[in-house]
Amino acid sequence: MKPIVKILAVGLLAAGVGVFVGRMLAPKPDPIPTDPLGKLQYGNKLFANGKLVMPPVDEMTRYQLQTDGQKPFAVVVSCSDSRVPPELIFNQGLGDLFVVRTAGHVISGENLASIEYAVEHLKTPLIVVLGHSHCGAVQATLSDKPLAGHLPQLTAHIEPVVRRLRETHPHLKGDALSERVIREHVIHTIQTIRERSAIVRELHAEGKVQFAGGVYDLRTGVVEWLKLPADLGGEPSTPAHTGRESH
């Protein structure tokens, strides 16, 4: 073998070994969780890091969903805010989420019936209430200004949380109060769902339905998962509460 050929052969071998070693030492991607909350947390991590993986939306996917029916793994009760689309925030596709949206994620008889349909007929095992930073419905409630049209019916659902916090935390003002109301209103909405729906309450008691609550940050794209009262399930599964302290 000529010297130049030997040099090329050795170089190629070394390059191949280098690639193999590099692949062995490279950090492996986190495994995709199989539990409902874990899927949402994993998907939100992709979204917040700008690494969305487009779920299939092709004709075959649509055909299968039509013929086999929908089997969403989570109900997401969220605000109607155009900046808070649950399917994108959690990197989910067609048939994955049963989304119920109203401004301020307030609960009426109609959207409560939608939640019941999902957990009873579709056997969806997780109910998530998703609030978000800079919520207009919360800000409207805090403003104490007269509201036109049907808006007072909306803010009436948030006013109990505002009154309670003003009584128990009179030092909270401005953004600190707004942030605390947003977080407490998420928990209040979960409690309202459980209290007003015998179907949800029974399925939760049987361990067939779980609750989770989160607050989506409009700027960072991260969902902070909140610690719930013990009767609603307590801490969410990992990754745990981010550690941001309430004011």
pTM of the full predicted structure? 0.83
- Report d(CA 222, CA 241) in Å as an integer: 12
- Residues near 78 by beta carbon (within 8 Å), at least 6 away in sequence: 84, 86, 99, 100, 101, 105, 129, 130, 131, 132
SS3 57: coil
Q: Could you report the per-residue pLDDT of 180-231, keeping only the tens digit for each? A: 999 999 999 999 999 999 999 999 999 999 999 999 999 999 999 999 999 8
Pair 217, 224: CB distance under 8 Å: yes
Q: Could you report the per-residue pLDDT of 221-242, keeping only the tens digit for each? A: 999 999 999 989 876 644 433 3
Going along the chain from its start, the domains and CATH numbers come out as 46-232 (3.40.1050.10)
